[in-house]
Amino acid sequence: MCIDVYDPNQCLSEPMAALIIPVGSTHTGEIKVTEPDGDPVTIILSDENITVDTEPFYDIKDPNDELGMARIYRYAWQWTPTIYDKGLHYINVRVSDPYEAFDERTMIILVKENQPPVITGCK
């Protein structure tokens, strides 16, 4: 999943993939953010049960930026859905910089209950 923070007049972000997470299992993912001015960013998710690290685990200068200002950040997120979370979730991911530039994407997550195998016959 990727989010790129750019000028609101540009649309350069990659789409976010849909995920399937079984109830009770912990899923860890990442959010990739490219900030063209190298500003720090804030990430907000619409579901408070999903946690996002406040500090990036990856922070480098964008090697494709000719001006040398852009930075690429990667943030880890984690969720362990419960039985009450079963179903389809549309999670809004919003990334902003200190100057009110932002980007938003929707992450689609299907939480399914893991069904045990059933013995249908034995002789």
Question: Would you state the pLDDT for residue 117?
Answer: 83
pLDDT at 3: 54
* Best CA proximity match to 102, nearest among 89, 111, 93: 93
User: What DSSP string describes 90-106?
Assistant: EEEEEEE-TTS-EEEEE
Residues contacting 48, CB < 8 A, separation 6+: none
The domain 2-112 is classified under which CATH number: 2.60.40.10, 3.90.110.10, 3.30.540.10, 3.90.1140.10? 2.60.40.10
- Whole-prediction pTM value? 0.77
d(CA 89, CA 73): 25
Could you list the mean pLDDT of each consecutive 10-residue stretch along the chain, which spans 123 residues? 40 61 92 89 93 90 81 92 94 91 90 86 82
